[in-house]
Amino acid sequence: MAYNDIASPAEVLGREITMTRNLLDAIANGFFKFGRAIMTNSAGQRRIDRVERLRAKTDAELAELNLKRDDIVHYVFKDIYYV
């Protein structure tokens, strides 16, 4: 006598739910990574914009900020880079 191992409807449904959940997790993870990349890029762009604004100032305006032209990049990025 041969026995067939046929999955019960509950087992099939459980596998389907798991596969669907895994797919949705993968999609959500992709959106999360994309959002994090956009935020990282925009934070970097803000710093670059700040460097450009400071470079556009005159030496007198920079002196009022106690800043030399050669120190602008270090000043803007000092919290994330140690030089």
Taking only the tens place, the pLDDT of each residue in 44-59 is 889 999 999 999 999 9
Please report, rounded to a whole number, the percentage of residues in the chain having pLDDT higher than 90: 58
pTM: 0.56
pLDDT: is 6 or 35 the higher one? Answer: 35
pLDDT, position 64: 95
pLDDT: is 26 or 6 the higher one? Answer: 26
Asked whether residue 12 is assigned to any structural domain, the reply reads no
54: which residues sit within 8 A by CB, 6+ positions away? 62, 65, 67, 72, 75, 76
Instruction: Give kind and range of the element (H or E) at residue 35.
Output: helix 9-56
Domain total in the chain: 1
Asked whether residue 11 is assigned to any structural domain, the reply reads no
Asked whether residue 41 is assigned to any structural domain, the reply reads yes
Asked whether residue 27 is assigned to any structural domain, the reply reads yes
Asked whether residue 9 is assigned to any structural domain, the reply reads no
pLDDT, position 49: 93
Asked whether residue 14 is assigned to any structural domain, the reply reads no
